[in-house]
Amino acid sequence: MNDIEIIELLRKKLSIPIGRHLYGLLGSYPALERFTKELKKATYEDNLQFPLPISVSSSILNQFSDEEFHRIVTDEAKRPEPTRKSIEDEFNAFVRRTLVSNKLVVYTDLELLFAYGVDLNSFRTLATDDKRIILLLPGVRKGGVIYLYPEYQKKFPTQKEIILPSNLIAEDHLWELKS
């Protein structure tokens, strides 16, 4: 499918008033950037413009003061769990904050979440009925598995592969962009 066909499918799915509304787009960084440009030109229900993507990693990091961030990073080597918990708590609060004032949110740059093993269920549980979420994910589908950040894996083949949880996004709500 090309970008326009995927946008048309998104429009149809977004027009359904009830149900789970978590969608994912897979592709290379250049393909995701190209798709974002097409999405900016498009509208969905009631001629609303698709929103600009929000960087999850940057938004979370910006919530910490310089002093607090320095303390978290300094303590991380000794006590990694509080760092992960701080990031997860801020992630959950961030998703709730952005959905309060927006019917549809497009999220990008989720690297921080995967680096710290943050539970992504907030996306799934909060994307219902009148709240919709689109995730832009650098990744590829191989068989029934979604591998994220494949370029990272090529550079660092000894690192553990990053796999999208299989129950996060419904199969018919996940599309792979052409490169």
- pLDDT tens-digit map of 28-85: 999 999 999 999 999 998 899 999 999 999 999 898 888 887 787 787 777 778 888 8
**CA pair distance 146, 128, nearest whole angstrom:** 23
Beta pairing partners, 132: 104
- Amino acid type, 37: K
pLDDT in tens, 107-151: 999 999 998 899 999 999 999 989 999 999 999 999 889 999 988
Residue 16 is given by DSSP the state -
For residue 118, give both structure tokens. Answer: 């943050």
pLDDT at residue 66, as a whole number: 83
Q: Which helix (H) or strand (E) holds 169?
A: none
Q: Where are the domains of the chain?
A: 3-176
pLDDT in tens, 153-175: 677 777 788 999 999 999 999 99
- Amino acid type, 142: K
**CA pair distance 124, 169, nearest whole angstrom:** 7
